[in-house]
Amino acid sequence: MKKNIENGRDSFDSILPEYGRRKLLTYADSIRELADTFKETESEKDSGEEIPREDRNEYIWQRKLLENKSLMAEHLQEMAQIMTNVAEEARHCEPMSERRFRQIAHALKEVDIQIKNLYLIENESGKMEVSISMKNRKKNTLSAEEIGDLLSVLLNIRLVGSGDNPFFVGDEWKTFYYVEEAKYHVLTGVAKAVKETEKISGDNYAFFETGAGNQTAVLSDGMGSGDKACADSTKVVELMQKFLEAGFQIETAIQMINSSLISGGENSNMSTLDLCSIDLYSGECRFVKVGSACSYIKRQHLVDRISSGNLPMGIFQKPDMEIVGRNLMDGDYIVMISDGIPDALSQGIGEDMLSEIIGSSNLENPGEMANSILNFCIHQCRGRIRDDMTVLVIGIWKKEED
């Protein structure tokens, strides 16, 4: 439930109407039942008996079909769980007196902003969210960010606007969303080099938000080089971003992308996945690796190396993924690299020295740090770039208190 105060009158309106909540749960149950139809039955399981030579092709085809059915069942189960989570999502409304509402409405009226709905909601993680419907009564050009700053003072909560907000408050009613400001903020930097015999890199990356106060970085290295490797790594990065923004769990998203790579048959290719997800409220960080090179956390001159020993995506029906958690602090840097970086160092001082190189850097700008690491590696291989090289650097800092 949330409280809706309009023109000084109190009323209640559920965040998700009961009818809609029940409908979502019904859809989720139906999808779960559909998933059950894809599950392997006892009669379909391998009996362990030796298969005659003339029946082996048929047997392999049947086993492939069963594996695909099992994957489909897992994907449908995840979709059903997402719908259930939305239906059961808990929100707590912070009560607001009529007097306080009128004070806020009056303050906004002073800058020619009229409001009619104001919601103050505490989400599941205990952070505040604000939803406000408003319009501009005159021709001035107040931005959504400026209104957010004013609401921060009026509500005594440090707020930032949602990325979906219009830039300006127009003369028609629009609903604007604000969330409690995170404790940390990040800056990112990238440096890339393309294999000397190619025109396009097989490495791809993305930085994006998967929710309020979450920053995610994804780096994928397509096996091989050129257009095919670029297409495969692009698919991994783009699908991962879409799945995570849609609410899928990381593990399920990886499984679905892996299935997509395998489905290419003889034209399929392997791709690594290196993912880093940062909670900007708490500083908690999670690395997820599938066949990727090491990642590093730099804290002043100390360096923590996060490694993995698994294989890339697109090889097995169920990819092997390694998940590592860390707690970040003010001034930490995260360094993510593609396979071309250790390959270049192996031609010089050796891959094991990368931690020392990162730790000795006194650069503060993530872009400059990324370029410094890349240039050092190019120097080590004497300018012979035999594989695509990419360096991502994320710097995290604590926001200053007012």
Q: Which of 35, 104, 99, 44 is nearest to 71 (CA)?
A: 35
User: What is residue 167's DSSP assignment?
Assistant: S
Report if pTM > 0.85.
no
| Cα-Cα-Cα-Cα dihedral sign, residues 97, 99, 103, 105 | positive
Q: Report whether 115 contacts 134 (CB < 8 A).
A: yes
Q: Which CATH number fits domain 184-398: 1.10.10.10, 3.60.20.10, 3.40.50.720, 3.60.40.10?
A: 3.60.40.10
Q: Is 253 helix (H, G, I), strand (E, B) or coil?
A: helix
Torsion of CA 23, 24, 30, 32, to 10 degrees: -160
Burial class of residue 197 (count of CB atoms within 10 Å of its CB; 0-12, 13-18, 19+): exposed
Note the pLDDT of residue 59: 66
pLDDT tens track for 359-368: 999 999 999 9
Closest CA to 277 of 304, 303, 259, 295: 295
Domain boundaries, the chain: 2-8+93-180, 18-87, 184-398
* CA 118 – CA 178 distance, rounded (Å): 11
Q: Is the dihedral of CA 254, 255, 258, 260 positive or negative?
A: negative
Strands of the sheet containing 128-136, edge to edge, are 92-93, 113-122, 128-136, 174-180, 159-161
Residue 380: what are its φ and ψ, rounded to 5°?
Answer: -65, -30
> Which pairs from 256-260 meet CB under 8 Å and 24+ separation?
256/75, 257/313, 258/313, 258/314, 258/316, 258/317, 258/318, 258/319, 259/68, 259/71, 259/75, 259/317, 260/235
Give the contacts of 56 (CB within 8 A, at least 6 positions apart): none
Secondary structure, 3-state, 50-69: CCCHHHHHHHHHHHHHHHHH
pLDDT at 56: 64
**Rounded to the nearest 10 degrees, what angle do helices 250-262 and 226-246 cross at?**
150
Three-class secondary structure of residue 211 per DSSP: coil
Amino acid 42: pLDDT: 37
d(CA 377, CA 386): 12
Q: Is residue 24 within 8 Å of 83, Cβ to Cβ?
A: yes
Backbone angles phi and psi of 249, in degrees to 5: -70, 150
Q: Digits of tens for pLDDT over the chain (402 positions)?
A: 344 434 333 444 445 556 667 777 887 787 777 777 766 543 455 555 555 555 666 666 666 666 667 777 777 777 787 778 777 766 667 767 888 899 999 999 999 999 988 988 887 777 888 999 999 988 778 899 999 999 999 999 999 998 778 999 999 999 999 999 999 999 999 999 999 999 999 999 999 998 778 999 999 999 888 898 999 999 999 999 998 987 778 988 898 888 778 766 555 678 999 999 999 999 999 999 999 999 999 999 999 999 988 999 888 878 889 999 999 999 999 999 999 999 999 887 877 889 999 999 999 999 999 999 999 999 999 989 999 999 999 999 998 765
Among 157, 162, 190, smallest CA distance to 174 is for 162
Long-range contacts of 141-145 (CB under 8 A, 24+ apart): 141/168, 142/111, 142/112, 142/113, 142/168, 142/169, 143/167, 143/168, 143/169, 144/168, 144/169, 144/176
Nearest to 128 by CA among 152, 146, 100: 152
DSSP state of 88: T
Question: Residue 13: its pLDDT value, please?
Answer: 43
Show the tokens assigned to 337. 């690299």
